[in-house]
């Protein structure tokens, strides 16, 4: 990781990610605080905040990547940061539930362009053998802020009001934009425009060409056995986390008969596990393939869920949460690395955004279904069911697993590479 950070472009991207993600966590937790304590929102309305933030990326992610593949990287990323800095300021005047939903959804729409552009930028800045470490660094920021963000946001809201968090988030986007502006980008090679026109000659309209490009990105994933497996594995992990997040509070209250303090520690241990897991991935990656790390990650999540479903003890809850966080890192980082390594540079925006769209869709499904499943089965049975599903996925993946470059993907990679 130290060697990767010595690359100027990667270092600036990492700094930008750190301050913008920190600002995002402040704003998101401030919104949740306002809805909960000032507007007295119920559980479904508070969960709706997360859905409003995730849904646009899930719906628009595939199409956003098409534009990212065509637009220059630096203006795309800087423009996204500047627009989001302005949108966050609208939270200062929001007073109704629907206003918060619309503003967060608008921020998410713009973020759907930034995230795949960032993935392309990392791929162009870092050698292929350093991508796993680069992704670990980026994820460390996400996982670290999951631990620090709520505590800092609670302090700021209590001391200075929610507006302080919104202003800090806006400033963080401006800081991110300035950092990205300060470094020269290595622009990946794009396919020749004439060749692209020939490839989509059967579709004359602009909308048709966009849909054709989006379809090509999805086709690449579904025809690449290794990439499809890690995508499904990561989607399954995010589905479990989507179910797990809203239910852990109910589990602590009803099964552990615990209070807020136990819930806070249990939630924080997931973030601690994720943060520790990023370092373990870098160590084990020297001896294991991306697919093997994903297998271990799925098994680790299942193992942690077993602790929660079989044993209803405080210490087993803490251990299970830590193991789940540890294992999630074992899926997220190898999956992202494999996507960047296996995808032709001309398609990286499309594949990255499609990848992200599938993941966010799975997380939303987990959020939506968690309450229904818990009501019908009980929280502990939901955790047990998720563990069984993950074990089955490991078995199916082991039987289904093929070399990373199967024939369909090779043909498509060759076709795209010939346009570069």
In order along the chain (420 residues), what is the average pLDDT of each group of 10 residues? 83 87 82 77 72 82 79 90 93 89 91 85 82 79 72 80 90 92 69 42 59 74 78 80 71 75 74 80 73 84 88 85 85 81 77 79 79 78 86 79 46 43
186: how many CB neighbours lie within 10 A of its CB? 12
Q: How many CA atoms lie within 13 A of 401 on its CB side?
A: 15
Placement of tokens 């630096």 in the chain: 74
pLDDT tens track for 241-287: 777 766 776 777 778 877 667 766 777 787 788 878 877 776 776 77
Q: Where are the domains of the chain?
A: 1-188, 201-420
Using CA atoms, how far apart are residues 91 and 413, in angstroms rounded to an integer?
Answer: 44
Instruction: Say whether domain 201-420 belongs to CATH 3.40.50.300.
Output: no
Q: How far apart are CA 248 and CA 234, in angstroms?
A: 20
Supply 166's token pair: 């919104």
Burial of 262-272, coded b for 16+ CB within 10 Å and e otherwise, reads bbebbbbbbbb
Give residue 118's Cα distance to chain centre: 12
223-252 per-position pLDDT tens digit: 777 777 878 888 887 787 777 766 776 777
pLDDT tens sequence across 131-179: 878 877 887 777 677 667 767 877 888 788 889 989 999 999 999 999 9
Half-sphere exposure in the Cβ direction for 43 (13 Å, CA): 9
Percent of the chain with pLDDT over 70: 84
Say if 1-188 and 201-420 have the same CATH topology. Answer: yes
C-alpha to C-alpha distance for 220 and 354, rounded to whole angstroms: 10
Distance CA 387, CA 246 (A): 17
CATH architecture of residue range(s) 1-188:
Up-down Bundle (1.20)
Euclidean distance between CA atoms 168 and 85, whole angstroms: 10
Rounded Cα distance between 322 and 324, Å, is 5
Distance (Å, whole) CA 163 – CA 27: 9
From 271, 281, 327, select the one nearest 29 (Cα to Cα): 271
Closest CA to 44 of 101, 111, 106, 107: 101
Largest pairwise CA distance in the chain: 66
Sign of CA dihedral 238, 243, 245, 248: negative
Query: Whole-angstrom Cα distance, residue 222 to residue 244?
Result: 28
From residue 137, how far is each of 121, 186, 286, 388 by CA, in Å?
A: 14, 20, 16, 31
Angle, helix 348-377 to helix 43-70, in steps of 10 degrees:
160
Cα torsion for 403, 404, 407, 408, to the nearest 10°? Answer: 140
Angstrom distance (rounded) from CA 315 to CA 298: 22
Classified as helix, coil or strand, 123 is helix
Residue 393 in tokens: 């996925």
Query: Nearest CA to 336 among 351, 350, 325?
Result: 351
């Amino acid at each position: 990781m130290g060697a990767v950070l010595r690359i100027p472009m990667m270092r600036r991207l990492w700094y930008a990610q750190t301050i913008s993600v920190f600002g995002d966590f402040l704003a998101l937790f401030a919104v949740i605080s306002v809805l909960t304590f000032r507007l007295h929102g119920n559980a479904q309305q508070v969960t709706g905040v997360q859905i409003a933030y995730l849904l646009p990326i899930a719906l628009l992610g595939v199409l956003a990547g098409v534009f990212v593949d065509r637009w220059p990287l630096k203006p795309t990323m800087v423009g996204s940061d500047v627009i989001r800095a302005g949108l966050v300021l609208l939270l200062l005047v929001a007073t109704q539930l629907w206003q918060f939903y619309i503003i967060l959804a608008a921020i998410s729409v713009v973020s759907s362009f930034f995230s795949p552009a960032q993935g392309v930028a990392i791929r162009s800045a870092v050698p292929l053998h350093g991508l796993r470490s680069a992704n670990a660094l980026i994820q460390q920021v996400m996982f670290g802020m999951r631990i620090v963000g709520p505590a800092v946001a609670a302090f700021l809201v209590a001391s200075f009001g929610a507006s302080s968090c919104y202003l800090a988030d806006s400033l963080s986007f401006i800081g991110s934009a300035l950092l990205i502006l300060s470094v020269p980008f290595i622009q990946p090679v794009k396919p020749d425009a004439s060749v692209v026109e020939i490839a989509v000659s059967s579709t004359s309209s602009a909308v048709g060409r966009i849909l054709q490009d989006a379809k090509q990105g999805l086709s690449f994933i579904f025809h690449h056995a290794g990439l499809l497996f890690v995508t499904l594995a990561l989607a399954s992990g995010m589905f479990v986390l989507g179910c797990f997040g809203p239910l852990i509070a109910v589990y602590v209250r009803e099964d552990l008969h615990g209070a807020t303090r136990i819930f806070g520690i249990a939630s924080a241990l997931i973030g601690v596990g994720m943060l520790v897991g990023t370092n373990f991935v870098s160590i084990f990656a020297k001896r294991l393939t991306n697919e093997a790390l994903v297998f271990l990650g799925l098994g680790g999540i299942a193992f942690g869920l077993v602790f929660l479903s079989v044993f209803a003890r405080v210490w087993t809850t803490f251990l299970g949460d830590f193991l789940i966080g540890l294992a999630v890192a074992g899926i997220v980082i190898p999956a992202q690395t494999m996507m960047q390594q296996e995808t032709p540079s001309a398609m990286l925006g499309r594949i990255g955004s499609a990848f992200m769209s599938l993941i966010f869709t799975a997380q939303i499904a987990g959020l939506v279904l968690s309450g229904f499943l818990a009501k019908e089965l009980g929280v502990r049975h939901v955790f047990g069911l998720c563990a069984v599903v993950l074990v089955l996925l490991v078995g199916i993946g082991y039987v289904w697993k093929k070399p990373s470059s199967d024939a369909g993907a090779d043909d498509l990679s060759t076709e795209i590479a010939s346009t570069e």
